[in-house]
Chain A
Amino acid sequence: GDSVTQMEGPVTLSEEAFLTINCTYTATGYPSLFWYVQYPGEGLQLLLKATKADDKGSNKGFEATYRKETTSFHLEKGSVQVSDSAVYFCALRAFKAAGNKLTFGGGTRVLVKP
């Protein structure tokens, strides 16, 4: 079945450091890929998405490129801020997914210290 694997946290960084969160997936066909973010005390928010191979999603300084050959969708940000402290979820939605569901990774908690 479909699955998403992302690096376990917590990831602790200093402000202005470079952030990478690895995400790999298994799916039949060509899924759409998403990164969602959950800030403390808030709901899930879409951060960025990519719908086909080599697409790059970007938002708020974050980027992720859909790599079909390595089945990956790693999230990166060049200079993190304290406000980026959150839990980040990688997710996929397979073509004709049963129930149109999103399949999520386990989440990666990121803590940015001043």
Chain B
Amino acid sequence: GAGVSQSPSNKVTEKGKDVELRCDPISGHTALYWYRQSLGQGLEFLIYFQGNSAPDKSGLPSDRFSAERTGGSVSTLTIQRTQQEDSAVYLCASSLEAGIYTDTQYFGPGTRLTVL
């Protein structure tokens, strides 16, 4: 079956612009996760959804970052007023359920964001 897909694969933007990153999880997966991979910080957890709700947003680095999920499927990560330090690869993952800590998270190919 289809894996996790993300779009766009690459995004170049100017400092101060807003960007939206999209994630389509594996069909039937109720849990969805966003991570960020950057040279300086490695792989960082940002936020997760169980269904459409995000119980824990504490991983988001600033209030310029927000995420939503609709219909228990597609999720959008929005970064407002982008800064150069936001440049990174943004990874999305999904799993069957969020409540099972042994559950496997499957990752998408990522969106490479470059802020000039």
Contacts and interface: CB of A to CB of B under 8 A. Distances in A.
Interface in A43-59: 43-46, 49, 51
A89 to B, nearest CB: 7
Contact of A51 (B4, B35, B102): B102
B42 A101 contact: no
A102 B105 contact: yes
A46 B107 CA distance: 8
Interface in B77-116: 91, 93, 98-99, 101-102, 104-110
Nearest to A29: B101
A94 interface: yes
A43 B91 contact: yes
Interface of B: 4, 31, 33, 35, 42-43, 45, 47-48, 55-56, 58-59, 91, 93, 98-99, 101-102, 104-110
Contacts, number: 61
Interface in A25-80: 31-32, 34, 36, 42-46, 49, 51
B33 A100 contact: yes
Contact of A95 (B58, B98, B101, B104): B101
